[in-house]
Amino acid sequence: MSLKSFFKKNKKNDTPPLSPFLNHILLRINKLVEKVASDIMIPRVDAVTLHIGQPLEESLEIIRKNGHSRFPVWKDKLDNIVGILYLKDILYQIQKKDEKLVLSEEKITQSMLRESFFIPESKKVESLLKEFQAKKIHMAVVIDEYGGFSGIVTLEDVLEVIIGDIQDEYDFEEVSIKKINEELYEVDARTSLEELEETLAIDFGEYKEEIDTIGGLIYNKIERVPKIGEEIKIDHIVYQVIKKEGNKILTLKLKLMPLNNDDHRE
C-alpha cells in the first residue's frame, strides 16, 4: 500500500479528524507521489565528490568542510562513479592502522568504497523511499539517459519532501532572496523560479517549463559561462553576476526595471 493510499483509507474510516500536522503531511505526500528523482536531487554541479587516488588527507579536509558522511567517488572522469565512500569506513581504517597510517601518503582506493546504487532521473520518489528502506542505504546516484552522472539523492532529500526542510548541526540557514531596496535584490543562484515569482510578484512564463533555477535561466539565455560583474537583461529584469566558483554562478543581483506591455508581471 502506498503512503497516499494509507492516509486515504484511514481518512474514510470512522476515525477522529487528522491533526493539523498530519494534514500537512498528507498534503506533502500528495506532492511526493508526483515527484521523480530529478525533481529533488542535488545536481551534478552542486554534488561534492571525491576521486580514486585522491590523498586521504585532502579527502578528510573536504569531508570536514562539507559535514557529510557519504561521498560519491569517481575514476578517470566524473561520469564514471565507481562507489560511495563512507566517513565511518575511513575512520575505521585510520583506527585499525593507528600509528602506522600516514595520511599524506594514503590515497582513496576501490577497496575503501561501498557499491553505488544507481537510479534514472525518472525514478519515482515514492518508490525510491521504499528501496532506501529495503536496502538500508541513504544515498542514490542519479544517472541521465546517456548513463552520465546527473546528481545524487539522499534519504534526507526524500524525507524533506514529506515533512519539510531538515536542519542538522552542519546545516546553516541562508536567506536565498535578500531585499536591498524596492528594485534591487541579491539572490542565491540555486533559488527556484517559483520562489522568485512568489517573492517578487513576477511571472517567468514559459521559462519554467524547462528551467528550475535562476542560475539555470542565465546559462540558458546566454549559452556560456558569464563573467563576474557581467549584466544580463531578460525581459524587465537585469541580472548581475556578483559571485562565482569556477564555472558555477553562486550569487546574482537582480534589478527590476520599469515594465513594458509585453513583459511578464503578476
Per-residue model confidence (pLDDT) at position 25: 66
Per-residue model confidence (pLDDT) at position 116: 97
Report, as an integer, the average pLDDT of 4-24: 58
31 versus 123: which is more confidently predicted? 123
Per-residue model confidence (pLDDT) at position 11: 52
Per-residue model confidence (pLDDT) at position 172: 47
Q: What angle do CA 244, 248, 249 make, to 5 degrees?
A: 55
Query: pLDDT digits over 65-91, tens only?
Result: 888 899 999 999 999 999 999 999 988
* Cell numbers at 139, concatenated: 544515498
Domains and CATH numbers, the chain: 3-34 (no CATH), 38-163 (3.10.580.10), 177-256 (3.30.465.10)
Contacts of 147 (CB under 8 A, 6+ apart): 79
The percent of the chain in helix, strand and coil, each rounded to the nearest 5, is: 35, 25, 35
List the one residue out of 74, 68, 70, 80 whose CA is nearest residue 54: 74
The yes-or-no verdict on residue 18 having pLDDT over 70 is: no
Tell me the C-alpha distance between 125 and 129, whole Å: 6
Per-residue model confidence (pLDDT) at position 266: 47
Query: pLDDT digits over 143-175, tens only?
Result: 998 899 999 999 988 887 776 555 554 554 556
Per-residue burial over 95-110, b = 16 or more CB atoms within 10 Å of its CB, e = otherwise:
eeeeeeeeeeebebee
Q: How many of the other CB atoms lie within 10 Å of CB of 92?
A: 12
β partners of residue 187? 177, 252
Average the pLDDT over each of 27-31, 33-37, 108-112, 227-231 and give the range with the smallest value: 27-31
The yes-or-no verdict on residue 32 having pLDDT over 80 is: no
Tell me the C-alpha distance between 36 and 248, whole Å: 25
Mean pLDDT of the chain: 83
Query: pLDDT digits over 88-146, tens only?
Result: 998 887 777 665 566 667 899 999 999 999 999 999 998 999 999 999 999 999 999 88
Q: How many of the other CB atoms lie within 10 Å of CB of 215?
A: 23
Say if CB 18 and CB 24 are below 8 A apart: no
Query: pLDDT digits over 231-258, tens only?
Result: 999 988 999 999 987 777 889 999 998 7
Query: pLDDT digits over 168-220, tens only?
Result: 545 545 568 899 998 999 999 888 888 888 888 888 888 877 787 898 899 88
Residue with cell 556578483: 242
Tell me the C-alpha distance between 257 and 266, whole Å: 14
Tell me the C-alpha distance between 224 and 209, whole Å: 21
